[in-house]
Structures are given as C-alpha cells and as structure tokens.
Chains A and B, each alone.
Chain A
Amino acid sequence: MREKNAELMTGNEACAEAAIVAGMRFFAGYPITPSSEIAEVLAGRLPREGGVFIQMEDEIGSMAAIIGASLAGVKSMTATSGPGFSLMQENIGYASMAEVPCVVVNVQRGGPSTGLPTLPSQADVMQARWGTHGDHPVIVVAPSTVRETYDWTIKAFNYAEQYRVPVILLLDEIVAHISEKIALPPREEIEIIERQRTTEPPEKYLPYRCYESDIPPTADFGSGYRFNVTGLSHDESGFPTNNPMKIDALYRRLNRKIEQHRNEIIAYKKNFLDQADFCIVAYGSSARSARRALQEARSQGVKVGLFQPYVLWPFPYEVLENIAQQCTHFIVPEMNLGQIAHEVACATKRRVIKINRVDGGLITPSEIFERIKNVSV
C-alpha cells in the first residue's frame, strides 16, 4: 500500500473525489439522506476545479440540469436516494432516449415512500433497471467497499461517455457512510474515457447517425453544430418522426448498443468458485457480509464460493448459467425481498435460497453462514 496516497474516507466522499478525477465538472442535486455528503463535498470541491455545483429546487430539476450541462459537453452527475430517484425517472428516460451521458448516484434507502431514510437497503435494484417507462438502455453498478466506490464511480463515467447512456451508481447506506482507509491509485494509472465527438463538418453532421458502431458521435451545444435534440422518437437527423421503420430502428439500436457490448460492460469477482458446490451471489454491502461468511464456511471445509457482480445491469446471466453447471444451490443475501434472487433463478434454473432483510438492519455474516451450513448438510 502506498501510504502517501492512503486516505481515510467514506463511500460518499470517495464517490465525490472519484467523480472529480473522472472529469465531472457539473453537479446538480437536492438534499436527501443518506446521499447529501456527496453534494456537500462537491459544493466545496467543484469551484476549486473550475466546475459548477448547483443545489436545484428538486430532483426533477437536478436531473434536467445535468442533462443540459452534459449536452454542453461537460461531464455531469447528480446524487440522491429512493424518493428523489423516483422523481428523476422521467428525465433518466430522456437521457436514454436522447443519448446524453450522465451519472446518477442513488444511495438506496428502504421503501416504498419515505421509508427508512437513515438505514441501509438495496431495494432499488429493479427501479434502477426499469424505473423509467418504455424499453430503454441503462447501466447499473453496485460497489461494496469505499475503494470499489472510488473505482466504479470513475468507470461509471467511462461507461456513460463510451455508450452515451445514463449510468446508475447504486450505493447503500453502509457503503456510503462507512469510513475505510484506501490507497488512491496514481492518476496516470486511471483510465479516463471521453465521449466520441464528430469529425464531420457542421453542415454534414447528423446527431444520431451511426458509423462503425451503434453509438453515434456527439457534438457539443454551442460548438458550431446546430442540431435538434428531442425526447420524441426521432430519426438520425434528430427531428421527430412517425415513420414506423425509423421508429423501430431507433428503439432497437438504443437497446442493442448495450446488449451487443454486454460482455465488455459486465464485471464481477469470483471467490473460490473453482471448487464450490454452492454459490453465494452478493452485491453492495451484502457482499461484505458474504465475504466474511465465506471465510468462515471455507475454514470449516464447506465447499462454497462467492460471485459478486459489480455491474448489476446488464445482468450476467451467461456467467451464472456457467456456474450452475457445477453449483447446485445459490444463496442470495440482499436487503430487499428478493430482487436479484429472481434473476439468479432465471439464469441458473437451480434452487435459490433467499436471505432477505427489509427491517433496516444489515445482513450479518452469521446469518449467511447459518444458511450455508443448512444447505451443506
């Protein structure tokens, strides 16, 4: 560990710092527990970096403002929790439709409604995937430690820029508020991706024309390229269309651009899965407890492994399908009533043992360990 780069920070602080490193220079947000520290840190940091922080009048306006800023070519972010995330959904769909890169942090709380503002939860996994209406592309990542939060905040921006989509960073109260000593990676080792900008002259530029991939090159508002952006179904010129062929082509391309890159986007970590009969699938702070339970079980000779997805959506169905060749049981601890467990069942066709808590308490290592023991006997 390079001690001179070591820092003690919370997940929320790591998220804010990493966003600056990723090049984020516009943040709009509205106060909400347990995400507010991200806004507080950035209110101080951004003007020092030449960037802009604005506290908007609500979360709908926050989401709108970051889309506006991103259209001007500035990497943008907002941060919120469940109720605010619900309010943002319409404009998240706009970002999907108009293909505007941006990052939305959701430090989850229990719900529905005001729910459990100060307690941990992982109940927004499905809202993150399907919260806005219509078939739409989205990428959702869920780190489990402060260091993972740092790394995945940067990667969230990279994905947003590369694929022109909103990327949802799903934290939970434990990951957001825990303080951990982390060694920050040297800047030169961090990969930063910028959106591909057009090389066409303005008179030839069509904002949604694709060339070698399904991701159209962008141009910034005010850079001499005058074009139209709309949330209506549109053709490659960016203007509304009612032509069924063009509409069909748009929706299929929007979703295909993520689907066809799913193997590059999906990321996960496997622990002891080579010699395992059972598999724990855990993400976010539940993965912390799962790691401890795994150690305990392994030390007692139980053949169990851990699969931790960093990227929840697109969901790694094929990877789990392969693991199911060898593992007979899947144990899915999550602080909701079984949102990812359902996907695991779809992917593996194996017995899925759900460990769920929705009372605001975290899932302890011993809860997971006890279930592993019950399965193994």
Chain B
Amino acid sequence: MFPYEHYLRYDKFPHIWCTGCGCGIVLKAMLRAIERSKISKNSIALVSGIGCSSRTPGYVDFNTLHTTHGRAIAFATGLKLAKPELKIVVVSGDGDATAIGGNHFIHAARRNVDMTVIIYNNHIYGMTGGQASPTTPLGNRASTAPYGSIEPSFDISGLAIAAGASFVARSTCYHATQLDKLITRGLLKRGFALIEALTPCPTYYARPNRLGTSVDMLRWYKDNSIAVERARKMSEEERRGKVIIGVLHDTERTEFSDEYQKLIKKMKGKRR
C-alpha cells in the first residue's frame, strides 16, 4: 500500500471536489511520482492558481502556495530564482494556465525555468460553474456556450512544445499509473516540464454534453487514447478525435536559473 498518509494533510479533508471528479486521481499520481523521485517534502514548493485543480496544495504536506488566478507560474518563477534549490511543482487547470495565465505559461516555457507543471485539463471552468474554457472542444456546450462552442480549442501540450518546454507529456485519469510515471520523468527533468492530464468533470462538462458519468468518461479515455509511438504511424485522418498519450517531447536545453547562477558566479564582486 502506498503511504499516502505521509503526504496528505488529513485534517483538511473532506476535500471540496465533486463525486467522480478526476482531481484526486491526478493528486495521487503526483504523490506517487514525488515518492518515486525521492524528493524530500521540505524541498518541494507546490504552487497553484485558482480553480478546482488549484485547491490541490491545501491537501498535501509541502511548502504550499495558493496564488491568484492564472499567476501560479509567475509566482513560481520568483520562488525558483530566489531559492534555486527548491523543487517547484505547479498545479493548474486549463482555464488557469492557458486563458488568464497563458502569457506566463508560454514565457516560463520559453525561458525554460526548472518547474514541473501539471495541468488538469477538464475542458471547463468547474469552480465557477461550467463556463467554456480555451480547451472546450468546438461544438461542445458550456454555461457560456449554450448553443455549443464556436471557438476552436487549444492543444495545451502543443502550445508548450511550441513555446520551448523541455519535456511535454500527456495522459488521462484512466491511465493513472502512466500518469505517475510521466510526472516522475517531469520531476527528474532539469527545465520546464509539462504534464497534461485529461481529467473528468462529471458535474459541469459531462452533464451538459451528455457524456454520462465519470466512469463513462474514463471509459471514453480508455477507448480513444492512442500511444504516441503508434499515433506517429497513423494518418492525420486516423488520429482525428483521438487523445495521443505518452511522452510527446523530450529535449535538452539550458535551464534559466542555472544560467543565472553562472552569470552571478562570473560577475559577483566585480566593480562597476
């Protein structure tokens, strides 16, 4: 049995998440990954913005920082540069990270600041009651898209790759064990690592779109996910409507706080 009690703040339960919510699955995957990567609780700073996913820090026993909507990555950047020995983990949602926080997201990826960013992508604003997000699929309903969304949606992982992230992976709450392996790789990567976790929101996403229960959504992930290695051999037509999971991108780049420490080493004590 995995020692979750070592990491959880049990006195903060019950949590605020709905029955069937996927946030807890991602949380547990994150804890397994942290255990596996042997990073001490004292050296982890878990930073979040605003939203359902962003309530994660309250339940776990690290240095935890629940910031303003969309700004978690910017707070985390300051924390990392001021104390480079901290291991930064950011938990965020699709709205938090790619709508209001989109600017910080792409710039932290561009700078390649060492942090592991886990985005719980449930395609909806859950905390505020089911409004459309940048990842609500075209045609899907939300409280602010009552006739179906007419906006094309963001590919969060694709955005991170284009912006310069070192490591980008995607999985789903059905593939919980794969999720913790991917988060582990993200934690061990020196640089900006993004893990996109597709997360069921039975209350505000499944219901207006008639997608059934949380179990139905997990089943949908199971039936419609394709390993990236297999997807690469498929035509664009065959990939349409599928979720491509696994390590999408893994590269070596100079990391920002390391570069800054080199600059300090070179310049420290020198006169004007």
Contact = CB atoms under 8 A, between A and B. Distances in A.
Interface of A: 25-26, 28, 44-45, 47-52, 54, 56-58, 60-62, 64-74, 76, 90-91, 94, 220-222, 224-232, 239-240
A228 B47 CA distance: 10
Interface stretch (B37-45, B125-133, B183-191): B37-45
B234 interface: no
A239 B61 CA distance: 12
Q: Most B CB atoms within 10 A — which of A56, A60, A70, A222?
A: A222
A48 B65 CA distance: 30
Given A47-B263, A52-B260, A239-B12, A232 B66 contact: yes
B45 A229 contact: no
Interface in B43-90: 43, 45, 47, 57-58, 61-68, 71, 74-83, 85-86
Contacts of A94: 67-68
B71 A64 contact: yes
Give the bracket for the number of chain B residues in contact with chain A: 35 or more
Nearest to B263: A47
Nearest to B111: A54
A146 to B, nearest CB: 18
Given A71-B79, A76-B82, A65 B74 contact: yes
B79 A72 contact: yes
Contacts of A61: 71, 74, 77, 103-104, 107
A231 B78 contact: no
Contacts of A232: 66
Interface string B235-248: 00000000000000
| Closest CB pairs A-B (n = 6) | A68-B78, A65-B78, A64-B74, A69-B82, A61-B74, A68-B79
Interface stretch (B141-149, B171-179, B196-204, B264-272): B264-272
B165 to A, nearest CB: 15
Contacts of A73: 82-83
A231 B85 contact: no
24 contacts: A26-B81, A28-B77, A28-B78, A47-B263, A47-B264, A48-B267, A51-B264, A52-B260, A54-B77, A64-B68, A64-B78, A65-B78, A68-B74, A68-B76, A69-B81, A72-B78, A76-B82, A91-B68, A222-B83, A222-B86, A226-B41, A229-B66, A230-B66, A231-B67
Contact of A90 (B42, B68, B79, B82): B68
A61 B49 CA distance: 13
B75 A65 contact: yes
B217 to A, nearest CB: 28
Interface secondary structure of B, over-half rule? helix
A228 B68 CA distance: 14
Contacts of B269: 48
Given A71-B65, A227-B63, A231-B66, A64 B75 contact: yes
B264 A50 contact: yes
A230 B62 CA distance: 14
Contact of B75 (A58, A68, A226): A68
Contacts of B43: 222
Q: Most B CB atoms within 10 A — which of A49, A72, A220?
A: A72
Nearest to A47: B267
A54 B107 CA distance: 12
Nearest to B41: A226
A225 B45 CA distance: 11
A202 B41 CA distance: 13
Contacts of B45: 221-222
A229 B81 contact: no
Contacts of A90: 68
Given A64-B75, A67-B75, A57 B104 contact: yes
B140 to A, nearest CB: 29
A18 to B, nearest CB: 16
A52 B256 CA distance: 11
Given A73-B83, A76-B82, A222-B42, A57 B63 contact: no
A25 B272 CA distance: 17
A366 B138 CA distance: 66
Nearest to A57: B107
Q: Most B CB atoms within 10 A — which of A62, A66, A221, A239?
A: A221
A64 B105 CA distance: 13
B233 to A, nearest CB: 38
Contacts of B12: 239
Contacts of A52: 81-82, 260, 264
Contacts of A44: 272
A161 B81 CA distance: 20
A47 B61 CA distance: 34
B82 A26 contact: yes
Given A61-B74, A239-B58, A231 B68 contact: yes
B78 A69 contact: yes
A62 B78 CA distance: 9
A61 B71 CA distance: 7
Given A48-B268, A68-B65, 8 more contacts: A47-B266, A56-B77, A67-B78, A68-B79, A69-B78, A71-B65, A76-B82, A221-B45
Contacts of A56: 74, 77, 107
Contacts of A71: 65, 79
B64 A229 contact: yes
